[in-house]
Structure 1
Amino acid sequence: MNMFCYQCQEAAGGKGCTKVGVCGKTADVSNLQDLMIYALKGISVLGLKADEIELETQGMDRFIIEGLFMTITNANFDKERFFEKIKDALKLRDSLKEDLIAKGVELGELKDPATFTINSNDEIVFKANSQEVGVLATENEDVRSLRELITYGLKGMAAYAEHADNLGFEDKEIGKFIRKALAATLDDSLTADELVALTLETGEYGVKTMALLDKANTSSYGNPEITEVNIGVRNNPAILVSGHDLKDFEELLIQTEGTGVDVYTHSEMLPANYYPAFKKFDHFVGNYGNAWWNQKEEFEKFNGAILFTTNCIVPPLASYADRVYTTGSSGYPGFKHIADRVDGGAKDFSEVIAHAKTLPAPTEIETGKIVGGFAHAQVFALADKVVDAVKTGAIKKFFVMAGCDGRMKSRNYYTDFAAALPKDTVILTAGCAKYRYNKLNLGDIGGIPRVLDAGQCNDSYSLAVIAMKLKEIFELNDINELPIAYNIAWYEQKAVIVLLALLSLGVKNIHLGPTLPAFLSPNVANVLVETFGIAPIGTVEEDMKLFLEA
């Protein structure tokens, strides 16, 4: 096989991509991503030794976080960026090694990730294609499954940690844990039980990371508010912003003010519309389009410039590829890349803005409004109303339908499920999974909308906070006693950390779809089923009966 990757829900045949990724990444990029992770594990091993003598290495944790983020599905397809990043990784690793030796630290016998050398791009490719680097290097299927489950959780955690760091919020303990967990995936002495424990600890740190990002976002931009988001267009040149990074979004809004260029959100950037700080910009028009996988058709019709702040890139049509830009950890061959901030300054989006001015206004694809902004602070403000609705029976059950959307036709299940829910139920959502039902006319219950959108995938944290608050209000001993069912869609690694976070909080009986992860071996899947009651989705009719009778 030319490659092996099974980190996302669309893994070929439900087993793994071996020739080219369903996401569009080539075998050489996939292998370079494996080598990137391999090198980060080597840095992490040395980083743990640095921790033991309280030796701080400036920028090490940020580097590891960026490297993990670059390997998330649909984030970066640019092999030149990976060549550069891998070389930088080895420089950082070897510099750290020299510092440790200078401090008298006995390094002992280090494994290959902490020692291998390369001197050219050809040598990087040769190493990336070697058997010891890839996922299948771990021969035991169950150990491999647990190691990858941890690694994918760390990738999702790294994404959220980077967004928080961009806003000036950092928790050094999160960086230390990421290094500890990466290093542990090289430790052949760890038992399956110890790896399961580390998996749950990854979930615990996932909660901490999402809480940190929530604090970063709300401290910077205010608590999300109930908002009617415009989905129509205006007759001005425009920039469409996709991805998740609110700092990038803020800087673009500031730089486009007074230029005659409008700004719209796409897919996971939709929740930017809910933050008070962004509402003051008159040229921030609203949201254009739907979930990430619709972008080929929607970008074609948008006509303007497009900026990816993070992952969710689909290999483009030639007709619009020349007006797409990337920044941060994202990248694609041929797309122009906006450089990172220098010395605390802002990114320079002038090239994107100048390009947008030369392009036609967006073609309108729909009109109207959609409602969102139901993060934890807003729901707490409605707590009395919500609690009263539960006590009187007006609301019989909440359904958490957070997570990711994707291309598979089987995901129509979530639209059909939402439409079939009884009118005395409420959907709690976050992430792009909401595009399967957030434009359905599901009505409200006594003024409470039946779809409460908390925001981006990381705002699944809000849903956990809401559940914990309801547990407290109703004086319950167990979160699973609440009238809440979990029917979650997943696609990539940020959904993995959300799942592990929920498990670490004790949430059980989560239904996961449209398929269970390919990286779960039968034995690991059985542990999750027996311990946490995780189950795959069935038919709408079967699952509706199961959830409503529970």
Structure 2
Amino acid sequence: MGIFDFLFGKKETETLPQAKETKDMSMFCYQCEQAANGGCSVVGVCGKQPDVAALQDLLIYSLKGIAFWANKAREAGKKDQEIDRFMIDGLFATVTNVDFDANEISKLVNEAVRLRGKAKALAGDVDGEIPQAAQDWALPASIDEQVKLGELHGVKDYSVDDDIHSVREIITYGIKGYAAYADHAKILGSESDEIYAFTHKALAAQLDDSLDLMANVNLALEAGKINYATMELLNKAHTDAYGHPEPTPVQLGTKAGKAILVSGHDLKFLEELLKQTEGTGVNIYTHGEMLPAHGYPGLKKYAHLVGNFGGAWQDQHKEFQQFPGAIIFNTNCIQKPAESYKDRLFTWGLVQWPGVKHVDGWDFSEVIKKAQECDGFEDAPGQEILTGFGHNAILGVADKVIEAVKGGAIKHFFLVGGCDGAKPGRNYYTEFVEQAPADTVILTLACGKFRFNKMDLGDIGGIPRLLDVGQCNDAYSAIQVAVALANAFECEVNDLPLSMVLSWYEQKAVAILLTLLYLGIKDIKIGPSLPAFITPNVLNFLVENYNIGPISTAEEDLKQILGA
């Protein structure tokens, strides 16, 4: 626990919140799996610069201050939509690979300070000590001074023991993760007061040092409950707008014509772009987590949604140079762009990169114009892969699945999914799927599937052995399948012939893991490495109560799971 050597500062009111001096005022971030040496301290592996890291730390600190007052206001029966929505946006902006623009993060910090005042006025007089983050500290006007202030309130800045701090970090990252899903749902017109209320309560609790370890653990499990509710909300928003996903072949080759590549998660964004490009001669390709969009009837009806180009986010430097059209990001996963494609790259929503054109609102005419100026593709048909195996599609053939299990044709189910990344060790997931016996079925979701989704694993009695459930938020669908199977076999989910082998990269994976723990699911294997923000004692708690463990080798893990 040597990384936790930075002490929290003074509690009294000051012009600026101050922390004790530290020997190292450089950045420190360990929220993603690729964090270098237990935490990025010079520059982020993701490309995040120290000034952006400090401003994001200051934004989280400011959001905790808002949360204190918003939670007090809610206890008095008062709430404010502007505050609620901003909390979600502010949290999502700090997720890995979303906003790399210091100027834009500074704007969010300024807005947070304004809304802290609004939340305080809404709450009125309160009893007891006011935490430092919720006090009326002044925000410097210059970004340089804001950066200095943010350096005082990073993840090393805490006053509790290491284990409580570790659980607080887990809660924060879980909340950041479900904030991304809540943002997508909000864009589709779906919101939940339950989500807003818990967000305020949980962030405010991080300012309360009287809460013991188990109180924080219970909040972490509650964060899992709220993520489950958020994924359910988003699932309903998606299916209400576009219908239930259905098994659909997706072309990996190219079609003659101008082209736009869409990377991210937001389906409403894709729909609007499809509407505006209809009849223009511009074809739309998905990238990364947008692949499952092809399974939705309301989206695949557009004939110019022609295929998927490329794989997971970490390969974009190579793949984007080969794409002869415009490229646009609508959620997290952006990397520092190469000069070879930077002039045809766009961002939208909360995604920002310095020097990259940002599209505000829903007018994509500039993106379309850029695509029409580019060379475009020639016809080059390629492999087809299947997507669209949401819970509605799988449960539609549940009788066949149940019969195959009872008859011994299907011996085991594996959920092999999660985030992909560039760090060594992720070939494990490819090897695991390759070595899984022919009488097993692989459920997969999120961008981790790009490690193996081009494999032909065949079928079992007409049931494909590889079922692409969808995006990371479609963990909700996978859970519904597990629950339905458990009901059919009159047993608990943990008693099913089902094993979860997960890969993580960023905060949405943390949120999903908390959901699985909240649901009491055990024996989860996770990799390629364990989070740096989990202390040994917290890890021991997870092992003892949930039998969660790190991956080893594909061969050994398969032997252990199947009892071979």
Judged with a 3 Å threshold, the aligned counterparts in structure 2 of structure 1 residues 542 and 138 are, in CA distance, closer, same or farther, namely farther
Residue aligned with 2:92, SS: helix
* Identical residues among aligned pairs (%): 51
Q: Which amino acid aligns with 1:194?
A: A
Counterpart pick for 1:405 among 383, 395, 420: 420
Q: Which residue number in structure 1 is paired with residue 27 of structure 2? A: 3
Q: Could you tell me how far apart the structure 2 residues matched to 1:24 and 1:317 are? A: 12
Instruction: Indicate conservation of the 8 Å contact 1:226/1:371, yes or no.
Output: yes
Correspondent of 2:71 among 36, 48, 52: 48
- Kindly state the Cα deviation for residue 126 of structure 1 after the two structures are TM-superposed: 2.0
Contact 2:293 2:300 in 1 (8 A): no
- Work out the CA distance in 1 between the residues paired with 2:76 and 2:442: 49
Residues 1:471 and 2:507 aligned together = no
Q: Which of 33, 52, 64 in structure 2 is aligned with 1:29?
A: 52
**SS of 2:146's equivalent?**
helix
AA matched with 1:489: S
- Residue 454 of structure 1 aligns to a residue whose secondary structure is strand
Superposition deviation, residue 355 in structure 1 = 1.0
Please say if residues 415 and 436 of structure 1, whose CA atoms lie closer than 8 Å, have aligned partners that are also in contact: yes
**1:512-527 pair list within 5 angstroms:** 512-527=526-541
CA distance in 1, matches of 2:98, 2:504: 16
- Aligned equivalent of 1:154: 175
Over 3 Å counting, the alpha-carbon distance change for 1:136 and 1:365 in structure 2 is farther
Which amino acid in structure 1 is aligned with residue 472 of structure 2? C
SS in 2 for 1:530: helix
- Write out per-residue CA displacement over residues 418-439 of structure 1, whole angstroms, 9 at most, x where no aligned residue: 0001000001111011111110
Match 2:505 to one of 474, 491, 498: 491
SS of residue matched to 2:322: helix
Q: Is the 8 A contact 1:224 1:373 kept in 2?
A: yes
> How far off is 1:96 after superposition?
2.3
1:201 and 2:222 are equivalent in the alignment = yes
CA contact 1:398–1:426 (8 Å) conserved in 2 = yes
Q: 1:8 is matched by which residue type in structure 2? A: C
Aligned equivalents of 1:107, 1:78: Cα separation in 2:
39
Within the alignment, does 1:141 sit opposite 2:162 as a pair? yes
Range with greater deviation from structure 2 (511-520 or 356-365): 356-365
* Alpha carbons 1:135, 1:144 under 8 Å: kept: no
Give the alignment partner of residue 92 of structure 1, picking from 115, 129, 135.
115
- 2:236 corresponds to: 215
1 CA distance for matches of 2:424 and 2:376?
A: 32
Contact 1:35 1:127 in 2 (8 A): yes
Deviation of 1:68 after TM superposition, in Å, equals: 0.5
SS in 1 for 2:334: coil
The answer to whether residue 387 in structure 2 is matched with residue 379 in structure 1 is no
1:344 is aligned to none
Residue of structure 1 equivalent to 2:494:
480
Question: Which of 121, 129, 133 pairs up with 1:109?
Answer: 129
The alignment partner of 1:254 has SS state of helix
Superposed displacement of residue 273, structure 1: 0.5
Q: Are 1:126 and 2:155 counterparts?
A: no
Length-normalised TM-score, structure 2: 0.93
Letter in 2 for 1:513: G
CA offset at residue 366 of structure 1? Answer: 7.6
1:369 aligns with 384
RMSD: 1.4
* Number of residue equivalences: 538
Mind listing any 5+ residue stretches in structure 2 that lack a counterpart? 1-23
Q: If the length of structure 1 is used for normalisation, what is the TM-score?
A: 0.96
Shift of 1:106: 2.8
Alpha-carbon deviation of 1:133? 4.1
How big is the shift at 1:56?
A: 2.3
- Residue matched to 1:457: 472
> Shift of residue 511 of structure 1?
0.2
Is this contact kept in 1: 2:257–2:378, CA < 8 A? no
State whether structure 2 residue 372 is matched by structure 1 residue 357.
Answer: yes
1:227 to 248, 251, 257: 248
Shift of 1:364: 8.0
